[in-house]
Structure 1
Amino acid sequence: MLAVFEKTVANSPEALQSPHSSVPAYALKEGYLANQFVSKNPNSVTLNLGSSGLLAYSLDNHDPLVPRLFAVVDDIFCIFQGHIDNLPFLRQQYGLSKITNEAIMVIEAYRTLRDRGPYPVDKVVRDFHGKFSFILFDGTKSTVFAASDADGSVPFFWGTDAEGHLVLADDTEMVKKGCSKSYSPFPKGCFFTSSGGLRSYEHPKNELKPVPRVDSSGDVCGATFKVDAETKREPTKMPRVDSSQNWAGHI
């Protein structure tokens, strides 16, 4: 799976930018990274998100133990990889049918947050038990929502290209092509949103501290993000509001 988002839609952390990216990489320019993805995955599907970026996925050559799913509901797109072990319980909790798969589950959980906000975002993601990573894009609100499981069980990487666009993918080689050395594994137990940036859902009260990542050549290659036990976040309060209110700005 692959996603590239304009920096106006998803502002990637500055710490991902490597000073040693000697050859600038441009993920969106002339459809470069999308073409690379299609070349490697001939049966893939690419979704042009207009000025927001692109999504691409292939259902070929995936690990049967870590299946890849795609779903779209009301202009909300989700690429999901892995599985949610407690999916039957979550279907009941959200009042969904038995045919609801993981990708649709993520969309419905996001819609609940966006429209009603009854729970903190970290609790919603923490309630997903299993091995997974996902990328969600809300076309109506131009909002990105991405996350990885607590153990980082599913390969998932992110980076930033020379123009500051955010790149997310399950293929490290694809991220390298789009970001040069400005990339790293997506932090386990964390989620990213357009409005809130990167947060830990396992330690929601703590800030995340970037730690430079050094490759075998001794060059700084993006950053890993660790929970800073010394620094606390300001709590995010979500008062109950009418369901007509939009919570996308709080996610």
Structure 2
Amino acid sequence: MLAVFDKSVAKSPEGLQSPDSESVSAFKDGFLAQHFSSVHPASVTINLGSAGVMAFATDKQNPLLPRLFAVVDDIFCLFQGHIENIALLKQQYGLNKTANEVSIVIEAYRTLRDRGPYPANQVVRDLGGKFAFVLYDSSSKTSFIAADADGSVPFFWGTDSEGHLVLSDDNEIVKKACGKSFAPFPKGCFFTTSGGLRSYEHPMNELKAMPRIDSSGQVCGATFKVDVETKKESSMPRVGSAANWSSHY
């Protein structure tokens, strides 16, 4: 899977950015989407206009960590992995028996956006299993990205030469545009348009970017760790049913 977002949709964390002569523009002339298509000839590419691009392929995948893609009411979601407590979540969100993991993520986001009954960190923490997902809501031009606490699914992100955020389950795809400005997506974390990167296991603590050194001794993106010494002033507030949750996260 692949997602490239403009800075207005997903501003890359400063720690992930680094001067790198190897990085190029992922957007220019559809460069990265075309490269993804060359690697996955049967892939599907979704043009999100000025917001970015998403691409999805079912080939070359781990059968234990399948990829899924769905669009519901202008909400686009790429999902890889599986959710273990799927029956409980279907009941919680009022979904029918045929609903799958990607449907659950979309409905969880929509419930959060429209009613905000739970903090966002709790919603992600309640997804039991091995997963990584990228969601884009075109109605509010917001992104919602997360990975499980064990980093069970290969999931990488990086910053291209123009500051666009690139995400994929294939590190070579990310490196194609981002050079050394890439890293594994942090375990147990979620990223939102207005809230940036946060830990859903320790939502009250700040995240600190630690330089990531590759095998040749060069700085290669950053690893984000929970800073046990710094805490946020408050956890994410709930919002009323009349409010749009996406403007609060």
TM-score per shorter chain, which class?
A: over 0.9
Is there any run of 5+ residues in structure 1 with no aligned partner, and where?
none
Identity %: 66
Aligned to 2:34: 35
Q: Name 1:247's counterpart in structure 2.
A: 245
Q: Which residue of 2 aligns with 1:15?
A: 15
Structure 2 counterpart of 1:179, one-letter code: C
Q: Which residue pairs with 1:78 in the alignment?
A: 77
Q: Which residue of 2 aligns with 1:111?
A: 110
Give the 3-state SS of the residue equivalent to 2:136 in structure 1.
Answer: strand
The Cα shift of 1:94 comes to 1.0
The aligned residue for residue 119 of structure 2 is 120
The runs of 5 or more residues in structure 2 that have no matched partner are none
Q: How does 1:96-245 map to 2 (within 5 A)?
A: 96-242=95-241, 244-245=242-243
Structure 1 position 215, deviation (Å): 1.2
Q: CA deviation at 1:234?
A: 2.1
The one-letter code sitting in structure 1 at the alignment partner of 2:5 is F
| Structure 1 counterpart SS, 2:98 | coil
Summarize the Cα distance change of 1:217–1:50 in structure 2 as closer, same or farther, 3 Å threshold: same
CA separation of 1:237/1:199 partners in 2, compared to 1, >3 Å: closer, same or farther?
closer
Once superposed, what is the RMSD of the aligned Cα atoms? 1.0
Give the whole-Å Cα distance in 2 for the aligned partners of 1:234 and 1:86.
32
1:2 aligns with 2:2: yes
Specify the code of the residue in structure 1 equivalent to 2:72: V
Alignment coverage as a number of residue pairs? 249
CA distance in 1, matches of 2:160, 2:87: 39
CA drift at 1:230: 0.2
The 2-side partners of 1:239 and 1:4 are apart by 29
Structure 1 residue ranges, 4+ long, deviating more than 4 angstroms after superposition: none
Match of 1:52 in 2: 51
